[in-house]
């Protein structure tokens, strides 16, 4: 995967914690980018068993010219390993190597690696710097940006964590060349999400370019990643800790997280659950009178064309809707057990909305057939 243009830069404005997001190819040894990497006594690269043989040596080689000591810790791969036990592997490595407060962590991998590395960085010695080097489309357009870190709990996804911003995000598109097709589709769910909630023109662009995205055309992917990061950076700069507008970034996630937890983490990829969750949230928007049937059909068609599921799974054969509701009441947007959904309020706009359980049950029943 080759690029004929220089890296693209997106800045996330958070005052003295602002940082750049770089999008392009061959980023790791680019002098302009290396100048922004945090200084320190040591570096620790955290990756997983899938990414390690593909890209770890290149990053380690580059970092050995910048730090006196460079360490590597390799985690098992998969959402089911986003746990306390796996997180402790990072702390074990940091303590075994006698890493101090000037150690810089590098998250080389997808969303699971990025979330856990960020949480470890936020926690180790009460905070050390870290850099995101996302290697999946989903992590490049979403999870690596904005400072959400954490792990899963059996009762809820990402329920234990911290807001902790990276110093730098490096979205090297060449890593997408080795991404399995299913993982690419999962990332497209998060790209598609930005259209309905914030930029209707971008939604139209995705529809016109979905085939090129699936074929991994580098120019098309560059625009998709850059525009997604621009939208997320704009939202996060207004509401870093999700007390207001940032919640719209969770379009499809309330239903999606219930699917992940209900089926068991790792059975559906996060992006697959979000894709299906967006269809369910759009169906709820229609039921609430906030969007029309043609728009629901438009979103459903695009999500399906991206290779994502649009029919929701059965989580409980006796009371399926009841199981969804039980899981969604643990959602971070819920208040006093009342579920707040991100719904589409007209085209290119989203809002938080509650809904009667009976209406949600109806939507779930319609979504599972």
Give the pLDDT mean for 341-352. Answer: 90
Give the pLDDT mean for 118-135. Answer: 98
Chain centroid to Cα 304, Å, comes to 20
Say yes or no to pLDDT of 334 above 90.
no
Give which of 114, 182, 202 is closest to 151, Cα–Cα. Answer: 114
* pTM (2 d.p.): 0.94
Average pLDDT along the chain: 94
* Residue 153 is among the residues annotated as catalytic for this protein: no
pLDDT score, position 1: 52
pLDDT score, position 346: 82
| Residue tagged active-site, from 253, 283, 298, 340 | 253
pLDDT score, position 40: 94
| Residue tagged active-site, from 71, 82, 148, 174 | 148
* Residue 216 is among the residues annotated as catalytic for this protein: no
* Residue 253 is among the residues annotated as catalytic for this protein: yes
* Residue 257 is among the residues annotated as catalytic for this protein: yes
Q: Are 136 and 179 within 8 A, CB to CB?
A: yes
Q: CA-to-CA distance for 273 and 257, rounded, in angstroms?
A: 7
Q: Are 288 and 368 within 8 A, CB to CB?
A: no
Say yes or no to pLDDT of 322 above 60.
yes
β-sheet bridge partners, residue 230: none
* Residue 71 is among the residues annotated as catalytic for this protein: no
Q: Are 56 and 108 within 8 A, CB to CB?
A: yes
* Residue 270 is among the residues annotated as catalytic for this protein: yes
Q: CA-to-CA distance for 355 and 284, rounded, in angstroms?
A: 8
Q: CA-to-CA distance for 150 and 162, rounded, in angstroms?
A: 6
* Residue 61 is among the residues annotated as catalytic for this protein: no
Residues 6+ apart with CB under 8 A from 134: 107, 109, 110, 111, 114, 140, 143, 144, 169, 170, 171, 175
Say yes or no to pLDDT of 4 above 70.
no
pLDDT score, position 22: 97
pLDDT score, position 154: 87
Say yes or no to pLDDT of 3 above 60.
no
pLDDT score, position 243: 80
């Amino acid at each position: 995967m080759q690029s004929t243009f220089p890296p693209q830069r997106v800045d996330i404005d958070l005052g003295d914690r602002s940082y750049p997001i770089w999008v392009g190819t061959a980023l790791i040894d680019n002098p302009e980018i290396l100048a922004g990497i945090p200084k320190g006594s040591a570096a620790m690269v955290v990756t997983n068993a899938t990414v390690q043989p593909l890209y770890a040596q290149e990053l380690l080689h580059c970092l050995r010219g910048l730090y006196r000591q460079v360490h590597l810790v390799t985690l098992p791969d998969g959402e089911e390993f986003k746990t306390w036990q796996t997180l402790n592997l990072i702390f074990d490595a940091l303590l075994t190597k006698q890493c101090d407060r000037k150690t810089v962590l590098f998250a080389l991998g997808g969303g699971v690696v990025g979330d856990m590395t960020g949480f470890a960085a936020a926690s180790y010695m009460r905070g050390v710097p870290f850099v995101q080097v996302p290697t999946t489309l989903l992590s490049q357009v979403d999870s690596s940006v904005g400072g959400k870190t954490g792990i899963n709990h059996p009762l809820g996804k990402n329920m234990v964590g911290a807001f902790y911003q990276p110093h730098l995000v490096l979205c090297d598109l060449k890593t997408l060349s080795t991404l399995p097709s299913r993982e690419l589709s999962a990332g497209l769910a998060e790209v598609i999400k930005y259209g309905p909630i914030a930029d209707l023109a971008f939604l139209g662009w995705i529809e016109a370019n979905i085939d090129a995205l699936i074929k991994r055309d580098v120019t098309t992917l560059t625009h998709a990643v850059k525009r997604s990061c621009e939208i997320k950076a704009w939202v996060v700069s207004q509401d870093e800790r999700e007390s207001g507008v940032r919640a719209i970034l969770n379009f499809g996630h309330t239903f999606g997280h219930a699917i992940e937890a209900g089926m068991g983490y790792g059975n559906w990829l996060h992006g697959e659950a979000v894709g299906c969750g967006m269809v369910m949230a759009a169906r709820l928007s229609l039921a609430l009178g906030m969007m029309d049937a043609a728009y629901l059909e438009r979103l459903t068609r695009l999500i399906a064309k991206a290779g994502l599921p649009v029919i929701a799974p059965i989580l409980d054969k006796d009371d399926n809707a009841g199981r969804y509701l039980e899981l969604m009441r643990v959602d971070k947007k819920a208040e006093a057990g009342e579920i707040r959904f991100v719904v589409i309020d007209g085209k290119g706009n989203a809002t938080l909305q509650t809904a009667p359980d009976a209406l949600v049950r109806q939507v779930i029943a319609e979504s599972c057939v």
